[in-house]
Structure 1
Amino acid sequence: MCVLCGEFVMQIHWTDQTSDDTSEIVVGDLQRERQRTRIHRTHLCNEILQFYRLKLEEWNGSKFILSDSKGNQEVVHDLGTLWQTAEKLLGYPVDPLDSYLLEQLRKH
């Protein structure tokens, strides 16, 4: 059980699975690889989120913390709920196909 949020951490969300992963958290090499891919996915999400002045941080291999420039934070349980949480923090819808956003991403 996670001591901070009081939830059991036993299942891996499909966005955190690698192709040969199981749905159970396993220690050892598989866990290290899963953690590396989580950090990589967090970095990729931040490439988009910086456009909205948001930042995503990986939290202990089980959750994420999304924060805005004003210091507000939300716990994101998995990447499947990231955009919904981002919209909640921002107060308006996020459009991943926004032409200005896509232009800014191409510049990177």
Structure 2
Amino acid sequence: MSDDKLANIQDLLEDIKGLLLLSNQDKIEEAKSKLLKPGSVEESVYKLCDGTNTTVDIMTSIQKDQKYTNTVLGILRHKGLIKTVEKNGNKVHEQRF
């Protein structure tokens, strides 16, 4: 498959995702509030998963060691709230929604 076709498919999927997120925003917010307790470390880490922060960045922000930070990121990933992607040669964490 050509790069143009793959790019078109990716654009279409992003459009569909945007529509689904928009139409289900209230349900998504309700689910997040159940999964992230206000004031918790998980909530703080989730907010830092903005697509620019690496594990080290997050670790520094929450002032915890790498093992603890990786555990929290793993929990958030397991809950389906975040994903880890590579951008500009760095592994960063971003919210799924």
Q: Same fold (TM over 0.5)?
A: no
TM-score (norm 1): 0.28
Of Structure 1 and Structure 2, the greater helix share is in: 2
